[in-house]
């Protein structure tokens, strides 16, 4: 989904931080396995389109155009992946572009958001509210409203068709989110820690880097994961701030692919699956880390 | 830079005479605290605030492909705004955007709420299954859009096969027919938005004290009554924020619709954000595009102000 629905309210982030551990379920003596059965069916139905994505990518044209549909592809048609991705230099290049842009945007987001969220967590309340304002509003902006002036400005600054331009644009999307998610993590750290460090002769910056930052590591990982996911899936900036096919992120290449391949659904779904796979890997690898990270924040509450 | 004031470590043993040094320590802290925030704020001013102000400037000139690099576009005042509002695209586009937004939002929220309530009952593996649903949330919009194009395709599309289960025989190419394209795009967007509402509402449900339900149950309240008399009133702030944010986020959706239909067929899914894109990046009428972009911004902006006001009120009552 667009980065739109990825934004969270600070309230929500706080709720998650505070209630990381599951509450004891209401009046339950025995585990409710019958509910689990219902949940598996319902969640399975909800996720079925994703199965359809993956299974279509492994179908030959004969298996694709059948009525009723072929539910399980057999034999598996791996050639779709070769056609659409591995023997397609433009697609391979676009995957590389997206990797550079997403990693760049993630690093920039961390470098800017980690100190900013800390400062905002330690500021006096009145100024916090005022300073938080641009971060909150930024989350609600339509991407096209930033992309349009950015294109004319970047044209003058020579940043169209450049990784730097795309990294900067992506960070506009991810930074506000990161600051809002990170701030509650800092709020859970008692100010006495830094005061003690100051007594020991540490500067505020030393205290930040050596004492505070390691404590919010779960928050930093969370923010990095979200920034990467948002930047990898970003489409509007990629579409508007590149005019050369060689510089396009993979989302934009996939879109032009749709026009080019029309109804060759096998290769199309193969390309779509490849675009989705890095995020699914990130999701699976960091799922535990995110939840435990969020829960860890609540211990200090 | 102001940072230097802090880099001198306090000399141990120079025990401060009560007030003076403590005051100095305090002011230095304030300066350095701001210096933590400064880089991010400067970044947003240069790459977000300035472009937005620049859009206002653009919208007052007749900027087009011929003059946007060379400069010298003639000043036209508010003409671009008047032109856009007077154009035959404006009213249909606004209506389509509102139908898309409200249609998506009602179902995303209702279904998300059902999932949240269901998961809140607590059963084995509920955490894992809830987490699995978030996979949809991390999917790039372009991937989802290309998947739903396939699902909504004519003779061999999954959606028509699904209708077949209910005895409805259909070979309708949903995205090609102007009468069905908007509904199809809304269905795809509902699917995408469910996890967002589920997450927000699930987190909110954790804040409702269990004792309330236990007391109500002892008093003989039905599940239906417990939902309307306890859950909804207790969840009101969360519901309001989910709907408000959901509205703003859905109102601006671009990528999903652009990839599924590019605003077509025959303008059936031509939401405002797509119209802004077409004006600026297909017709290269940047002045008109900027005016349209600012009009697109007004509704989310008003709602954002409402959102901030609600947040403030919520903060002050805590």
On whether residue A52 sits in a domain, the answer given is: no
Minimum-distance CB partner of A5 among B122, B249, B258? B249
On whether residue A29 sits in a domain, the answer given is: no
From chain B, pick out residues whose CB is under 8 angstroms from the CB of A123. Answer: 33-34, 37
Minimum-distance CB partner of A134 among B44, B144, B286? B44
CB-based contacts of B107: which residues, under 8 Å, 6+ apart?
B186, B190
From chain B, pick out residues whose CB is under 8 angstroms from the CB of A22. Answer: 122, 127
Q: Directed axis angle between helix B286-317 and helix B79-86, to 10°?
A: 90
From chain A, pick out residues whose CB is under 8 angstroms from the CB of B63. Answer: 152
Q: Which helix (H) or strand (E) covers residue A284, if one does?
A: helix A265-299
Could you tell me which residues are beta bridge partners of residue A103?
none
- Give chain B's mean pLDDT: 85
SS (H, E, C) chain B: CCCHHHHCCCCCCCCCCCHHHHHHHHHHHHHHHHHHHHHHHHHHHHHHHHHHHHHHHHHCECCCCCCCCCCCCCECCCHHHHHHHHCCCHHHHHHHHHHHHHHHHHHHHHHHHHHHHHHHCCCCCHHHHHHHHHHHHHCCHHHHHHHHHHHCCCCCCHHHHHHHHCCCCCCCCCCCCCCCHHHHHHHHHHHHHHHHHHHHHHHHHCCCCHHHHHHHHHCCCCHHHHHHHHHHHHHHHHHHHHHHHHHHHHHCCCHHHHHHCCCCCCCCCCCHHHHHHHHHHHCCCHHHHHHHHHHHHHHHHHHHHHHHHHHHHHHHHC
CB contact under 8 A, B55 and A112: no
On whether residue A42 sits in a domain, the answer given is: no
Asked if omega into A240 is within 30° of 0 (cis), the reply is no
pLDDT digits (tens, 9 = 90+) for B98-144: 999 999 999 999 999 999 999 998 889 988 898 888 889 889 999 99
ipTM: 0.85
**Residue ranges making up the domain that contains A133:** 3-20+80-299
For tokens 């620049």, what's the residue? B54
Residue B180 to residues A54, B128, B185, B192, B273, Cα–Cα distance (Å):
26, 36, 9, 19, 20
Range 118-137 of A in CB contact (< 8 A) with B: 118-120, 122-124, 129, 131, 133-137
Please give, rounded to a whole number of angstroms, the shortest distance from the CA of A301 to a CA of chain B.
15
A141/B contact by beta carbon, under 8 A = yes
Which residue is closest to A27 within chain B, CA to CA?
A: B214
Minimum-distance CB partner of B156 among A65, A123, A233? A65
**Tally of domains in chain A:** 1
- Residue A291's pLDDT is 57
CB-based contacts of B87: which residues, under 8 Å, 6+ apart?
none
Burial A225-249 (b: 16+ CB within 10 A, else e): bbbbbbbbbbbbbbbbbbeeeebbb
- Provide the number of CB pairs (under 8 Å) joining chain A to chain B: 352
Q: Is the pLDDT score of A51 beyond 60?
A: yes
Please give, rounded to a whole number of angstroms, the shortest distance from the CA of A220 to a CA of chain B.
16
A171: CATH:
1.10.3720.10
Q: Is the pLDDT score of A18 beyond 50?
A: no
Residue B75's φ and ψ, nearest 5 degrees, are: -75, 130
CB contact under 8 A, B44 and A53: no
Q: Output the tens digit of pLDDT for each of chain B's 318 residues.
A: 333 333 334 333 334 444 444 444 444 466 777 888 899 999 999 999 999 999 999 899 988 887 877 777 888 888 889 989 999 989 999 999 999 999 999 999 999 999 999 999 888 998 889 888 888 988 999 999 999 999 999 878 899 888 888 888 888 889 999 999 999 999 999 999 999 899 889 888 988 888 888 888 888 888 888 889 889 999 988 898 889 889 988 999 999 999 999 998 999 999 999 999 999 999 999 999 999 999 998 887 887 788 778 777 766 665
On whether residue A54 sits in a domain, the answer given is: no
B192/A contact by beta carbon, under 8 A = yes
* Residue from B72, B90, B86, B61 nearest B286 by CA: B61
Which residue is closest to A34 within chain B, CA to CA?
A: B123
Contact A41, A230 (CB under 8 A): no
A169/B contact by beta carbon, under 8 A = yes
* Residue from B169, B162, B164 nearest B191 by CA: B162
Interface test with A, best of B3, B36, B237 (most A CBs within 10 A): B36
Please give the domain boundaries of chain B with CATH numbers for all domains.
Answer: 4-59 (no CATH), 90-269 (1.10.3720.10)
Task: Count Cβ atoms within 10 A of the Cβ of residue A27 and give its class: 0-12 exposed, 13-18 middle, 19 or more buried.
Answer: exposed
- Residue B24's pLDDT is 46
CB contact under 8 A, A168 and B47: yes
pLDDT digits (tens, 9 = 90+) for A79-96: 999 988 999 999 999 999
CB contact under 8 A, B311 and A11: yes
On whether residue A61 sits in a domain, the answer given is: no
């Amino acid at each position: 989904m667009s980065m739109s629905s990825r934004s969270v309210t600070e309230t929500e982030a706080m709720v998650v931080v505070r209630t990381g551990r599951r509450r004891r379920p209401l009046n339950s003596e025995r585990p409710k396995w019958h509910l689990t059965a219902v949940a598996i069916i319902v969640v399975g139905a909800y996720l079925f389109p994703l199965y359809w994505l993956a299974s279509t990518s492994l179908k030959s044209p004969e298996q694709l155009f059948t009525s009723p549909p072929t539910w399980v592809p057999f034999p598996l048609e791996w050639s779709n992946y070769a056609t659409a991705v591995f023997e397609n230099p433009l697609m391979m290049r676009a995957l590389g572009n997206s990797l550079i842009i997403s990693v760049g945007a993630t690093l920039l987001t961390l470098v800017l958001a980690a100190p900013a969220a800390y400062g905002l967590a330690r500021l006096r309340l009145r100024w916090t509210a005022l300073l938080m304002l641009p971060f909150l509003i930024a989350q609600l902006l339509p991407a096209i409203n930033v992309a349009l002036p950015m294109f004319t400005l970047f044209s003058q600054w020579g940043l169209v068709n450049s990784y730097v331009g795309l990294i900067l644009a992506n960070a506009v999307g991810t930074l506000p989110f990161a600051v809002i998610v990170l701030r509650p993590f800092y709020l859970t750290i008692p100010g006495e820690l830094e005061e003690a460090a100051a007594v020991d002769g540490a500067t505020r910056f030393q205290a930040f880097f050596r004492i505070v930052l390691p404590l919010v590591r779960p928050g930093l990982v969370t923010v990095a994961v979200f920034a990467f996911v948002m930047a990898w899936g970003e489409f509007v900036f990629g579409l508007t701030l590149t005019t050369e096919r060689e510089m396009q992120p993979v989302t934009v290449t996939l879109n032009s692919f749709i026009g080019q391949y029309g109804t060759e659904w096998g290769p199309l779904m193969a390309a779509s699956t490849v675009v989705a796979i890095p995020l699914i890997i990130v999701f699976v690898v960091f799922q535990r880390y995110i939840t435990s990270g969020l829960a860890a924040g609540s211990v200090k509450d | 830079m102001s940072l230097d004031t802090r880099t001198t470590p306090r000399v141990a043993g120079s025990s401060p005479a009560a007030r003076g040094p403590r005051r100095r320590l305090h002011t230095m802290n304030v300066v350095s605290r701001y210096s933590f925030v400064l880089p991010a704020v400067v970044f947003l001013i240069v790459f977000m605030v300035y472009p937005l102000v620049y859009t206002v400037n653009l919208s007052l000139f007749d900027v087009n492909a011929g003059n946007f690099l060379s400069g010298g576009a003639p000043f036209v005042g508010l003409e671009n705004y008047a032109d856009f509002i007077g154009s035959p695209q404006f009213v249909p586009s606004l209506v389509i955007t509102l139908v898309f937004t409200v249609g998506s939002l009602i179902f995303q929220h209702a279904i998300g709420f059902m999932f949240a309530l269901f998961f809140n009952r607590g059963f084995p593996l509920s955490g894992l299954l809830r987490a699995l649903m978030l996979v949809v949330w991390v999917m790039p919009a372009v991937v989802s859009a290309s998947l739903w194009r396939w699902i909504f395709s004519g003779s061999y599309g999954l959606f028509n096969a699904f209708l077949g289960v209910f005895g409805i025989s259909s070979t309708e190419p949903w995205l090609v027919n102007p009468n069905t394209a908007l509904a199809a795009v809304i269905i795809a967007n509902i699917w995408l938005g469910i996890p967002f509402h589920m997450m927000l509402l699930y987190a909110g449900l954790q804040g409702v004290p269990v004792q309330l339900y236990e007391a109500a149950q002892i008093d003989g309240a039905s599940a239906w009554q417990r939902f309307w008399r306890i859950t909804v009133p207790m969840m009101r702030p969360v519901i309001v924020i989910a709907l408000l944010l959901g509205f703003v986020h859905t109102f601006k959706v671009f990528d999903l619709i652009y990839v599924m239909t590019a605003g077509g067929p025959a303008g059936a899914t031509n939401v405002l954000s797509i119209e802004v894109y077409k004006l600026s990046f297909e017709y290269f009428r940047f002045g008109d595009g900027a005016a349209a972009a600012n009009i697109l911004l007004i509704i989310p902006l008003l709602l954002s102000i409402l959102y901030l006001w609600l947040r403030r009120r919520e903060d002050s009552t805590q």
